[in-house]
Amino acid sequence: MTPAIVFDDGGGKLAPLTDLRASFDVRTGALTTLERMKLALDLDVIALRTPEGLAQLTRERHNGMPVNSWPDNPGLESGVLLLNGRCPISYEPIANLEVGQSVLEESSGDLIAAMVSADDAKRFMASGETAPASAGPIARIPGVALLTRPWHVRTFRDDCIASDLELLGDAEPPEIPPGVTVFGGHGLTIDPSAKVYPGVIIDLEHGPVAIGADVTIRPGVTLIGPCAFLPHCTVLDKALIKGNTAIGPHCKVAGEVGGTIFQGYSNKGHDGHLGDSYIGEWVNLGAGTTNSNLLNTYGEVISVAAPGMSNEKTGQQFFGAVIGDHVKTAICTRIMTGAILHTGNMFAQTAAVSGCVGGFNWSTDAGRKPFRFDKFLEVAKAAMKRRKLEPSAAMVERLRTLHGQATTAGPAVA
């Protein structure tokens, strides 16, 4: 195994993806980027580095892992791989780096990976620098190689899910549960603890399907690969789950879902279409909530990453929405193509939700006003309590900081 330090350099404009997690903890496919890195590159991650505002949350998420500190007695005899957490998939040059070599993103010059000595790795951890001076580039990856905008989860989605399903797939086909119809030639993985009810249809013609531990697939569901279902998630009766979808842990989904990644702990428990989107944690989409993922002109989707920023081309014809953590929508909410909905928003409006909506707003037909933090926290705690969880002190403090930044940032909509 290769000793490695995975770091979040804070680059790009990635909120709301990285409001409550480091870039390497974003679910960019069936797996988070860090999970994929470990498996695909056979890494022994010895430490993590994040912006200071995310350090304590990262420590909680990776219990026992040194964060922003050098590990005790790492026992390093060879080089250490420094790997940018904004790099969602592994590139061939990374696996073959030698000490003193690095790989950059050509367009930005940002570091993707570098192999350095243990002493240089220690200095890198302490300095907070974005690239070690000791490693010269041997390769530059053209195009978009690092996440720099929220919609880049859509850019990399298909490649990430394909890679993850290969990593998660079983060598031997599983026993098909009674009453389940399976067709197509791609792989199928069903954890022995999963419950797949009679009447489920699994279509493997276009890609594999992976059903993880303690997953429940209710009667009448149709699963179209490639797609993945992470531990403890539930797919409700008669749902249609289309290709390039990954349902994160402890999620509950229904209706029509395609090309969408759920980070975890979120609910879409009723009918409604959701396509080509990313859903954070603790999101609840009310009954009938539906989004658009294609313009009437069939043109490239234009989006705005954060309030006050300019329109940008996303490079995508099919792109729905990026919905941040703790967003709630009322029944029959309509979400327009390319929407970026930041953390902590509450939508109860009859007009369609569109554009970029800054964090912590309460939107009704009477207008949009700031979501008071005490009221927001009350709702967040109530939602988490249903899963027998509660926000940690570090989580509350981070949310309070984000709330303060959002309510002093100016216009909520760009």
What pairing do the DSSP bridges indicate for beta strands 101-105 and 136-141?
parallel
Domains along the chain?
2-148 (3.90.550), 154-407 (2.160.10.10)
Buried b / exposed e along 70-108 (16+ C-beta atoms within 10 A): beeebebeebbbbbbbbbbbbeebbeebebbbbbbbeee
Residues 6 or more apart in contact with residue 408 via CB below 8 angstroms: none
- Please answer whether residues 355 and 414 qualify as being in contact, where contact means their C-beta atoms are separated by less than 8 angstroms: yes
Give the Cα separation of 150 and 125 in Å (integer).
Answer: 26
What pairing do the DSSP bridges indicate for beta strands 328-329 and 321-323?
unpaired
Whether residue 226 has a cis bond before it, omega within 30° of 0: yes
Using one digit for the tens of pLDDT, what is the confidence trace for 38-78? 999 999 999 999 999 999 999 999 998 999 999 987 778 78
pLDDT at 414 over 80: no
- Please answer whether residues 69 and 23 qualify as being in contact, where contact means their C-beta atoms are separated by less than 8 angstroms: no
- Predicted local confidence at residue 323, as pLDDT: 98
- Please answer whether residues 338 and 383 qualify as being in contact, where contact means their C-beta atoms are separated by less than 8 angstroms: no
Question: 91: pLDDT confidence band, cut at 50, 70 and 90?
Answer: confident
Higher pLDDT, 176 or 130: 176
Residues 6 or more apart in contact with residue 198 via CB below 8 angstroms: 177, 178, 179, 180, 219
pLDDT at 413 over 50: no
Using one digit for the tens of pLDDT, what is the confidence trace for 221-234? 999 999 999 999 99
Question: 411: pLDDT confidence band, cut at 50, 70 and 90?
Answer: very low
- Predicted local confidence at residue 408, as pLDDT: 76
- Predicted local confidence at residue 406, as pLDDT: 92
pTM of the model: 0.96
- Predicted local confidence at residue 172, as pLDDT: 86
Match 């959002």 to its residue by tokens.
406
pLDDT at 350 over 50: yes
Give me the percent of the chain exceeding a pLDDT of 70.
99
Give the Cα separation of 244 and 156 in Å (integer).
Answer: 11
